[in-house]
Amino acid sequence: MERMSHMILGTGRCAEHPYYIDRFYVNLYSVEELCYILVDKAEMLDQEIMQRDMVRWLDEECGLSDLAHALYALLNQKGSTAAYVGTILEYVCLYSPEAIARTEEIVRSNEGLSPYERHKAKADYLLKEKRYFAAMEQYYTLLTKLSDEDRLLQAKIYHNMGAACAGMFMYERAAQWFIKSYEIDGRQESLLLYLASQRMNHPDKEYIEYIAEHPEYHDASLKVERMMERAAGAFEGSDENRMLVTLQVFKEEGSGIFGNTAPYYDEIERLTAELKEKYREYTV
């Protein structure tokens, strides 16, 4: 029986000169690539994506005059970002109507964000892409702009700065940011990650003594042990940083209630020590 292949017909032509989106550090050569960015990075989009240079590129480089005219009309009428994105996606028909509607809704919800929240979203994107130093620079800059009235936003920033430091194996610094976040908004996730960072940064004996000196952290420490047990399984046989796997476990489990404490695996200790040594060699 002959196998049928599925083809996706391109819209317009491939550009000789790419369009560079500095927000995402990417060159685009076709409208399909643009559509992928619009859907994949929908939570990052705002009015900055609505550029006349982009419309001119679609017209002159991709040969999409009809689409360009529709987008020019939106720009002239000061249309919304959601309408701009939706117009492109609907014209190209690369995604289903449901996916397009979902993308428009995400973009529409982001239009109500404050400038500070948009700034944070940019930093969060860098964090997600594991560009930790760049993310930290953005977070630091944003903190200098916030007032005392923005305490809850500060807490979220401190939390994500902790995650960035953890990604760079800087567990002591990560712990400082996580506890700073927890002291502001009392979010359980920040406390758990604070203890996880402490767990990673100290020998077993020191960590146990620390928990004994802080009985208020006892229940949370049991949750951390359970989460790290799960992370051990995910980490086994890979080169990933166990702390990053633990972060994923926290994301999946949230603040659910776990059972009794679990043993801390010697194998994980060995692998973690190796990763720390590699990191030291890298930074020398």
| CA R_g for the chain | 23
Q: Report the b/e string of 217-251 with b at 16+ CB within 10 A.
A: beebbbbbbbbbbbbbeebeeeeebbbbbbbebbe
Q: What pLDDT is attached to residue 228?
A: 81
Q: What pLDDT is attached to residue 272?
A: 54
- Distance from C-alpha of 84 to C-alpha of 229, rounded to nearest angstrom: 47
Which residue in 101, 166, 172, 179 sits closest to 136, CA to CA?
166
- Residue-wise pLDDT for 40-87, tens only, equals 888 888 888 999 999 999 999 999 999 999 999 999 999 999 999 999
Q: Which pair of structure tokens corresponds to residue 176?
A: 């400082």
On whether the CB atoms of residues 102 and 119 are closer than 8 A, the answer is no
Q: How crowded is residue 103: how many other Cβ atoms within 10 Å of its Cβ?
A: 23
- Distance from C-alpha of 69 to C-alpha of 180, rounded to nearest angstrom: 51
The crossing angle, in degrees rounded to 10, of helices 151-167 and 171-185 is 160
Name the pLDDT band for 96 (thresholds 50, 70, 90).
Answer: very high
- Distance from C-alpha of 119 to C-alpha of 26, rounded to nearest angstrom: 19
The segment with the largest mean pLDDT, out of 159-163, 228-232, 247-251, is 159-163
Q: Which pair of structure tokens corresponds to residue 174?
A: 């990560």
- Residue-wise pLDDT for 100-157, tens only, equals 999 998 888 777 778 888 888 888 888 888 888 989 999 999 999 998 889 999 999 9
Q: What pLDDT is attached to residue 277?
A: 56
On whether the CB atoms of residues 121 and 43 are closer than 8 A, the answer is yes
| pTM of structure | 0.60
